[in-house]
Structure 1
């Protein structure tokens, strides 16, 4: 047993089968660094190590030993693996990372994890932890309200879940966060691409095209052809008198009992004459010289002279 143990102690440590080649290389590199550091510690003051590799360089000079008076601030080697933009961001991260249903949040488990993170940041930044403490107090309050029996409502409806307001805020924050990520993914000039600028030298001398005699002849023939296609429409003003047509209408209605409305416009030679005839009829009706009658709806309209009783 002792012989086997000594043999096992003398043999180099074997790499487990589950370790990949990359991990084995990292282990070997770490072992080599440890050996060099041991050589640095065992070497006399100012003497270079066996392999001649400096530990660091200070102002271009090789440094073979760690300085004894080197001061490293406590926060110099601090590494933050996760950074959050606020309490809602941390709470949403805890929920999404563990695939919790956002509409049924296990507050006890989430609050415990939330407080663990708050305890870590309280050791370094108490002012930053105040915002997270406020959210932690809200989580505890919601959990306590869930443990108490719900208060009955006046209309007898089911009381609202104490987590409803928190869920609404988380969903709105997640939508804004996704929208901000989509906007940030859009290409931005100066960050994702640069605007190309090309300088072109242009000559100040204007070069006109050459025009031949045949081109001028064809252009003139085209102008003459288009001129023949142009037609002019002359509009003349027709002089019509409303008083004259009023007199004509009175003469036509004399000696007859009535005239149908459409017959008054049969002799009109143009739309203008029809309009003037209609205006003349309206003027005579306004002066109570004509009567326009109709027996019933949609029946023919008749025009006759107004009856003037004798005095």
Structure 2
């Protein structure tokens, strides 16, 4: 006696079918249920989706496209063939329920008129040449072609944010900032006031021609500071030169400090001010590099200034 074969349980059959559906990507999901196959009763109209790749900006653009597509010469247009293709394109657009501008229909009428005039005897101009009915259309096509080519050339040029992107780079400021002397200008002015007061007391009234220049006095000051030691501010002024000599010497000090040829230091406010030369050592002839005549003029005064000890190490600069 043959035993009946065991049938799979309904739960196992449903599980296997569900696992098979999970392996397939659904075409769509309708109301939360995946659709794996196209329904047999689904009807898609033949003209449900149509794509128009060629877009024209006007009737002349369409005519130029038809001429270029057949590699024809604008000066020798086969008006009958071009008219046939143009009318066929308009009929196709109307069949697709596209709204055509009135210019397309006007151009179709112009082509039909030119076609009919080509069949008739051509009129003769005053110079004896026959008038070509296509002349006006050819002129308009040539002018449109030039403008369109110019527009294409301009569009081919690199355009910002389309072909190129702006780039900004940070450039560090390389300007050399020269720090002013650490001595306060008010301290310099107070010291100058004292020197001017003493100059007024020791001045005389000899009438003579005073020829003093800041440049010469700069050389004089450098020659006095040539030993490299610190010299007191007041010791660099020549007694007997009066107010003019004091002003010229003070301006010479400021110019030397500006050109970093001398160093001006002061230990603390209201204390003596000292100067020291920062220039290169003078040669054997005593030329400091500015004015040899200024050095000679300074030597004639016979006022040798003795160097003083440098200020303490904690001096302000």
Larger RCO (CA within 8 A; separation ≥ 6): 2
TM-score range with shorter-chain normalisation? 0.3 to 0.5
Normalised TM-score (structure 1): 0.46
